[in-house]
Amino acid sequence: MTIRSKNKLLLLIISIFAYFITVGMSAVLLPIILKTNNVPDFLIGFSDNIKVFVGLLILIIIPKIASKLGIIETGIISLILYGTSILLLPLYYNYLVWMFLIFLFGSGFIIFRTMEETLANVISNNQNRGKIMGYVATSMLSGLSVGPIITKIFGVNNYFNFILAFVCVCISILCFYLIKNTKGNIKATAKFELFKFLKEMPLVFFSKFIMEFIVQVIFVFAVIYTMETTKYSAEDAGLFITAFSVSGFLNIFVGNFVDKVKNKNALMIFGVLFLFLCMILFSITL
């Protein structure tokens, strides 16, 4: 990897880390806002998981937008959309207005996730793609684990949390802007083959969608369920998200390992079996 590519990768990692601090914070703060306003638990869950379903709705337009505007520009627009929403969401008016803001919030989230993964693939090559995606996943989960710690420090009823989250989004925007202006070629318009990917590997796409859905459910109910069934405060319940995410550093080793393993199917089967083992061990401890 050239020095220019390393600089772009470093900026991308910082951008993802800063962005996912806000995701970790919102995973704690947003359910609490709804709970405070006496919104039923099933509507709280629906509100959070709508981000995943938004991804399906805008799946058709993401490639068109990114191909016309470019990876960096589309990423910056998604961050502006996300950052604006996160400042408005705590000003709860009613559930319908909330859902509209969540739609904008989720759109920004899904578009940014698509752009940062696309950018990581543009920076990488077939020899180091696993390692780079490992770095990306580690920065994502590291930021996610830091978010609830910040809400623990400042308390869930402090609007300063949302200001700080907005600042993190601004840092992410700055990093994307610097990537654009870093010497070296980043394709202004990417050739997206998203539907080709869906056609050739539908099971991979479906498994990723299910995994995203499961993670969203875990995040919401890690806070709400823990508060209602234990004596933990919202701030302490949020630390369960930190515990869930802190293992993200393992992705560095997994990424390096993936580059060296030829049989990817065997690796995925091992991962699924390991997940089931963890679920069994967790159920035994309940």
- pLDDT per residue as tens digits for the range 2-50: 546 678 888 999 999 999 999 989 888 888 888 888 887 777 767 766 7
Taking residues 49-78, report their average pLDDT: 78
Three-state DSSP at 193 gives: coil
**270 to 245, 266, 276: CA distances (angstroms):** 20, 6, 10
What is the pLDDT at residue 220? 67
Alpha-carbon dihedral 107, 112, 118, 122, rounded to 10 degrees? 150
What is the per-residue pLDDT for 168? 95
- 171-193 mean pLDDT: 68
Let me know: does 216 contact 27? Beta carbons within 8 Å. no
What pLDDT does residue 19 have? 94
What pLDDT is recorded for position 13? 92
Mean pLDDT confidence for 125-150: 83
Does the pLDDT value for residue 196 go beyond 70? no
Helix (H) or strand (E) holding 120: helix 95-123
Q: What is the pLDDT of residue 265?
A: 65
Question: Tell me, what's the pLDDT at 16?
Answer: 94
Please state, for a pLDDT cut of 90, what percent of the chain lies above it. 16
Mean pLDDT of 254-276: 66
Report the pLDDT value the prediction gives residue 113, as an integer from 0 to 100.
Answer: 85
The answer on pLDDT for 191 being more than 50 is: no
Give, as one character, the DSSP assignment of residue 236: H
* Tokens representing residue 231 in the block: 């004596």
The predicted model gives 117-128 an average pLDDT of: 79
Beta strands in the chain (DSSP E): none
Element (H, E) at 267: helix 264-285
Q: Mean pLDDT, to the nearest integer, of 64-78?
A: 85
Contacts of 90 (CB under 8 A, 6+ apart): 29, 33, 159, 162
Amino acid at 274: F
pLDDT band at 106 (very low <50, low <70, confident <90, very high): confident
Q: What is the pLDDT of residue 190?
A: 46
Region 111-132 average pLDDT? 80
Q: What is the mean pLDDT of residues 167-189?
A: 76
Q: Which has the minimum average pLDDT: 83-92, 161-170, 204-213?
A: 204-213
What average pLDDT does the chain have? 77
Q: Can you tell me the distance from the alpha carbon of 78 to that of 58, in angstroms, rounded to the nearest whole number?
A: 12
